Amino acid sequence: MRHAPEDTFDTMIYTLLLLAAAGNALALTEYSGPVPKLSHMPFGFAGQATGGSTNVSAVYVVSNAAELREAVALPYAKTIYVNGTIQGNQLPNGTLAKCQDYIDMTGSPGSAVHGFNFETYLLSLNATYVSLVEQAIADNVPFDGRNATEYRTLLGHQNGYRPVVAATQKAQVGFKLTNNTSLVGLDANAALNGINLYLSSVNNIWIRNLKLVPPQDCFPAPETFPSSWNALYDAVGLVTASNVWVDNCELQDQLSGEYVEPDIIEPGWQVDRFDGLFDCEDGTDNVTFSHNIVRNHHKSLLLGGGTKEADRDLGKMHFTIFGNYFNGSASRNPLMRFGSFDIFSNVYKARNDNPPRFGDANAVFQYHLGIYNQSRVQVQDNVFLQYGAFPNDTSRIFTVGEAALLDRPARVCIRETPPHVPPTMNGVAIASLHQVMADTVDFFVDSGKAVEGAVVLTCDGFQDYEVPKVFEDSEDVLQYVLSEAGQVR
């Protein structure tokens, strides 16, 4: 998740959309039909969340983007059932927008901004290329068959046009939730496809039984050539949100569940159009992320947006991450900063083709748990499964980042002896997960990327509290997660 100077502008666009929606308000369908049999109740840090469930006189069903947009904006407590697949790019007239449509829809007919083109934009960032165009102007010759002067002007505008057309996509694919909302899939066919749910300064939300597929950013900005990109749009993004429970969902790159490869654009750009699946920041608090499947994505759960948010995060950012199946999630399962994180009873399955440690990381899988600045992390009852070239390697279970402050160290408490579940990798005992973590810290200290003492392994000051289920062993956890995680069939 990133958010940016253009936020005020986005809010303005969003407000205009809302006004437009209010202008021709649809009749939302009240719903009293059969509901899915969802057995879990909120627990952990979001244990107080009720969503919209307390208001039995506000229950709706939505089947398309316009209905969803209207329902999430209702200013009172409500339950919204999602029927089938809702496409985030579905325009008010029913058409599914492509990237070019967002460009064409921006501004008025004939607007100069329609001259935006993603490939031209990438060329415009290439100083060598631009200097060739300038040379053609100096030589008074066409460039690549075009008027070089006009082309240079067009190149000069691309960087300014990009955020303007991006705001059009954002207004279409972004759905802002309001307080006291339950958003629930009617059955296992329910999906939000290409939708960014954003929870900004909202309280008391349930998101349940949904497939959640984030939008692909049509207009991401490159950070470094060829493969580092600044793409927008999480499947679910929390900014200063509280009491949020996400349960029985499936978060993934596309409906099929397969990983989406980057787009290749000359001369070798690998365009990554995805941001996170579940990113939380800016003083968010009291979140439970439970019984979800997180599959085939590269940067999945970012919990803590970075140093600039430290003042708003410290003392908040309490997360329970329980009973999830991370299957092919390449990193950030989660990445954690400035808060308290209970990582309990999850299954981690990865294809590990990278050699141990982080020297040579060409394959997709990077790491599971990122222990970053001042995080307080409790780890227990998790199960690890790996296949690929290095099925037994434990060096990617943890990584360490931003570990520099001796006076405010990150703290990690690992419970791995009965009554807690002794950890396993592929069913074989991991002798000591504590030692795996200690080795990870040593590796980062030795390579100069962390300061000794800035990550402390201790359970002092952590509370060992009641969990929804006590497990016998890894197999018990695995069977529980296999049967409880994901949408309810």
Ligand X SMILES: *[C@@H]1O[C@H](CO)[C@@H](O)[C@H](O)[C@H]1NC(C)=O
Q: Coil, strand, or helix at residue 41? A: coil
53 binds ligand X (CB under 6 A): no
> Minimal distance in Å, beta carbon 419 to ligand X?
25
The residues in 30-49 that bind ligand X, with binding defined as CB under 6 A, are 33, 48
DSSP structure string for 226-290: TTEEE----SEEEES-EEEEEES-EEESSTT-PPPPPEEETTTEEE-----SEEEESS-EEEEEE
387 binds ligand X (CB under 6 A): no
Q: Which of 4, 11, 22, 84 binds ligand X (CB under 6 A)?
A: 84
> Minimal distance in Å, beta carbon 395 to ligand X?
13
Here's the x/- map for ligand X, 147-186, by CB under 6 A: it reads as: x-xx----------------------------xx------
Q: What is d(CA 391, CA 188) in angstroms, rounded to the nearest whole number? A: 32
Q: What is d(CA 134, CA 148) in angstroms, rounded to the nearest whole number? A: 7
What region, left, alpha or beta, does residue 215 occupy, with left being phi > 0 and alpha being psi -120 to 50 degrees? Answer: beta
Q: What is d(CA 204, CA 55) in angstroms, rounded to the nearest whole number? A: 13
324 binds ligand X (CB under 6 A): no
Segment contacting ligand X by CB under 6 A, of 402-410, 437-445, 452-460, 462-470: 402-410
Q: Look at strands 301-303 and 383-387 and give their pairing.
A: unpaired
Q: Which is nearer to ligand X, 189 or 417 (CB)?
A: 189
Judge contact between 289 and 325, C-beta under 8 A. no
The C-alpha angle with vertex 196 and arms to 364 and 177, in degrees rounded to 5, equals: 140
65 binds ligand X (CB under 6 A): no
Q: Which is nearer to ligand X, 297 or 419 (CB)?
A: 297
Q: Which of 20, 26, 96, 225 binds ligand X (CB under 6 A)?
A: 225
Segment contacting ligand X by CB under 6 A, of 10-18, 108-116, 400-408, 466-474: 400-408
429 binds ligand X (CB under 6 A): no
Q: Which of 11, 12, 22, 76 binds ligand X (CB under 6 A)?
A: 76
Report which residue type is found at 14. Y
For helices 148-173 and 127-138, angle between their N-to-C axes, nearest 10 degrees: 140
Q: Which is nearer to ligand X, 33 or 160 (CB)?
A: 33
Judge contact between 348 and 301, C-beta under 8 A. no
The site for ligand X (CB under 6 A) is made up of 33, 48, 55, 57-58, 61, 63, 75-77, 83-84, 91, 93, 95, 101, 105, 126, 128-129, 132, 147, 149-150, 179-180, 202-204, 225, 242-243, 267, 285-286, 296, 307, 310, 327-328, 349, 373, 391-392, 402, 404-405, 428
